[in-house]
Amino acid sequence: MLHLRLITPSDSTEAAVRLIEHTVGTTHLVVLPGAARDPAGDVVLCDVAREAGDELLSGLQELGLDKTGSIAVENIDLSLSRRADEAEEEAPGEAADAVLWEHLTDATHEESTLSVTYLMFITLATMIAACGVVLDNAVLIVGAMAVGPEFGPLAGISTSIVQRAPRLTLRSLIALLTGFAVAIAVTVGFSLFMDAIGLFSREQLDADRPQTGFVYAPDAFSFVVALLAGIAGTLSLTSAKSGALVGVAISVTTVPAAANAAVALSYGDTRQTWGSTEQLLLNLLGIVLAGTLTLLAQKWFWTRQRRSMQRS
């Protein structure tokens, strides 16, 4: 269940209440006339099944409450109410399958913002992966994958394509490209420093690396895994199962490929640099493509579900 707290101008309260009452899956409606001070107006509280949340939020935005008042949404971790159980049963579909498009857009907007913290995370992840590829250490590679924050901008690109939000597309692309550019540049300097103190060597990079050699050898499986990871990551973002994102992060070769490209570039190894770059681009393309198609499929499914409920 979701809990909504609305601040509505007095002349819009009745319309908002009617909308809530006529939306399947809503309950626990409370109206507090004149309770709001900034902005001034009434306070309306209600609970809604997650499956019906997007429809209700869209209707409230059509009333202009996001501009004249306020719409706040919270997840309810526990609700002991027979009426809440009935509301969930009345709502179409399953809660885990529902997509809150406004929440998704807001979340990806935040995760795809270029910030100092984002740059630090992707740079540190790439430096950890650089140690992993030189030492042929799979544990370091997995750790670097988990630290990397690049799925946020990738999800932002997919969301912006489906939602037709060019500003979010630009923001996500800037964060993604700038992040990897800075991370690779810093890791090149890091590799040169590690070589100068005798911890990295060209021989280690050129040696047989059974654990990490895949990062500069893209093949068909690279694209297939990226597609599957993109689907899993998108489903994780749009559902209540966000824990799956960690598994997605450690299943694609983005940060390790960037790290290997940086180390190879520091030694002038164009073969590994180009192979790693191809691996990186292949994974990025696969994730964005899969994410976009997954969101389009979810949007189509829920549009049909809503129409069938309206007809019935």
Q: Could you count the other beta carbons within 10 Å of the beta carbon of residue 42? A: 22
Quick one: tokens of 106? 């807001």
Closest residue by Cα to residue 49 from 72, 75, 31 = 75
Range in 120-129, 146-155, 246-255 with the lowest mean pLDDT: 246-255
Residue 216: exposure state from Cβ atoms within 10 A (0-12, 13-18, ≥19): buried
pLDDT tens digits for range 183-202 = 999 999 999 999 999 999 99
Are 151 and 226 in contact, with CB atoms under 8 Å apart? no
Cα separation, 309 vs 40, in Å, equals 36
Are 238 and 104 in contact, with CB atoms under 8 Å apart? yes
Q: How confident is the model at residue 78 (pLDDT cuts 50, 70, 90)?
A: confident
What average pLDDT does the structure give for the chain? 88
Q: Which residue has the higher pLDDT, 298 or 192?
A: 192
Can you give the pLDDT at residue 240? 59
Cβ burial 134-161 (10 Å sphere, 16+ → b, else e): bbbbeebbbbbbebbbbbbbbbbbbbbb
Instruction: Quote the radius of gyration of the chain (alpha carbons, Å).
Output: 24
Cα separation, 145 vs 126, in Å, equals 9
* 2-98 CATH fold: Alpha-Beta Plaits (3.30.70)
266 φ, ψ (degrees, to nearest 5) = -65, -25
Cα separation, 146 vs 127, in Å, equals 13
Residue with tokens 């960690």: 246
Triad 142, 147, 150: Cα angle to 5°: 105
Quick one: tokens of 303? 């549009």
pLDDT tens digits for range 57-72 = 889 999 999 899 999 9
Range in 82-96, 217-231, 289-303 with the lowest mean pLDDT: 82-96
